[in-house]
Amino acid sequence: MKTHATTARLVFLWMICLVISVLTGCASHTRQPAATMDTPEHHVFNGMKLLETGRLDAARRNFSLALELAPGYSPAHVGMGLVQGENREFAAGYAAMKKAVNTAGTKEENAAAHTGYMRLLLQEQANGWLDQVRSHYEKAVVYDKTLPDPRYYMGLAYKEAKDYDRAIREFETVLDLDKTLVKEADRELAHCQKVLRAEPGNRIGRDLAGETAVTRADTAAIFIHELEVDQIYARHGVTSEPLATYPWDIKDHPLNAAMVSVLDMNLAGLRPFPGNAFRPDEPVTRAGFAMIIADIIATLSRDKGLRTRFIGQASPYTDVAEDAPFFNAVMVCATRGVMGPADLLGNEFKPMGPVSGAEALIIIRHLKKKLILH
């Protein structure tokens, strides 16, 4: 009996030592603050700012510093999950978001954790992502209906899914709340409204409408499928001549047929580059788009003088010089109301700026009306 009692005491003492060891070990993983501002809140604030500017390594370090101080700090897990999402480390990202949900204490932390899930799902866009985003959105707004963040990212999700009416409603709610993300929501709202005004005529147009910058391949498809410029040329007796050799980089491209058609028409702004390259994935600039439009107008009007008519005149735009190679094309578009300034004041054309899909379709619609009138 004495032996059993001694053994039991030894086991009991061993268990106590083990518990103390575990507790001591856990405590050793929690770093003590080194300065007044060395707090989880401060590091998460910095991390989110760094994340917004794309400085992912620095953001990750700040979230790590926060977790060293407070391993159960939910906002730090959200930030870490977002960094991992940006790095396409989705398994780790979802694990971090799960920790964020499990450690959330306040209503704000719970809403932020579910909003983090929304952002991560939006980054990955795997099968069924929209329904999952909507599920976390509903959970987030339960905690606080006045938070703009879940509504903003729900709007982005609807925009990505090309459900522009619902996206607009979410962005308008963010503006009505007038708290944070106002500037971002206003920009996205304007984009969605522009897409709806574009009224794309077919599936290709609808797919392109949401693009923030159309490529040279996209542009070829827009002019062939939305404007049907090849058919218009044929009706007006404008002949096309196939090239002896087509650019080497369009052979296996999905939009090869559209690019071959515009190449046969020898459209300014969509001709091959030196080395017989088309560069199908290169974004089209506003100047380049204007050159295409002006070439079509000059060809169909059979007005040879139109190609040089505005040379020597004063430029109405502060960022378009009179001696720029695209100056005449910009003026042709501007004077015919087909393609105007890029800013609200009407002072800038932004010739090197991109052309969004919605903007391209709106310009094409203006051009269609002008071609009918003339």
* 291-300 pLDDT, tens digit each: 999 999 999 9
Specify the amino acid at residue 166. Answer: R
Instruction: Report which of 181, 179, 183 is spatially closest to residue 152, judged by C-alpha positions.
Output: 181
Distance between first and last Cα of the chain? 113
Picking from 109, 111, 129, 107, the residue whose alpha carbon sits closest to that of residue 120 is 129
Confidence of residue 34 (pLDDT cuts 50, 70, 90): confident
**pLDDT tens by residue, 92-124:** 999 999 999 999 999 999 999 999 999 999 999
How does DSSP classify residue 322?
T
Instruction: Extract the tokens encoding 332.
Output: 């042709």
The span from the CA of 317 to the CA of 323, in Å, is: 13
pLDDT at 51 > cutoff 70: yes
Answer whether residue 18 shows pLDDT above 50.
no
3-state secondary structure of 250: helix
Residue of 120, 119, 112 lying closest to 140 (CA atoms) = 112
Q: Is the dihedral of CA 191, 195, 196, 197 positive or negative?
A: positive
Q: Is the pLDDT of residue 14 over 80?
A: no
Q: Is 23 helix (H, G, I), strand (E, B) or coil?
A: helix
pLDDT at 19: 45
Q: What does pLDDT average to over the chain?
A: 89
Confidence bin at 28 (pLDDT 50/70/90) = very low
- Please check the confidence at residue 129 and state whether its pLDDT lies above 60: yes
pLDDT in tens, 312-338: 999 999 999 999 999 999 999 999 999
> Are 364 and 222 spatial neighbours (Cβ–Cβ below 8 Å)?
yes
pLDDT at residue 27 above 50? no
pLDDT per residue over 149-191, tens digit each? 999 999 999 999 989 899 999 999 999 999 999 999 999 998 8
Q: Is 238 exposed, middle or buried (0-12, 13-18, 19+ CB in 10 A)?
A: middle
Domains of the chain, start order = 29-138 (1.25.40.10), 146-198 (no CATH), 203-373 (no CATH)
pTM for the predicted model, two decimal places: 0.66
C-alpha–C-alpha distance, residues 160 and 210, integer Å: 8
pLDDT value at position 150? 97
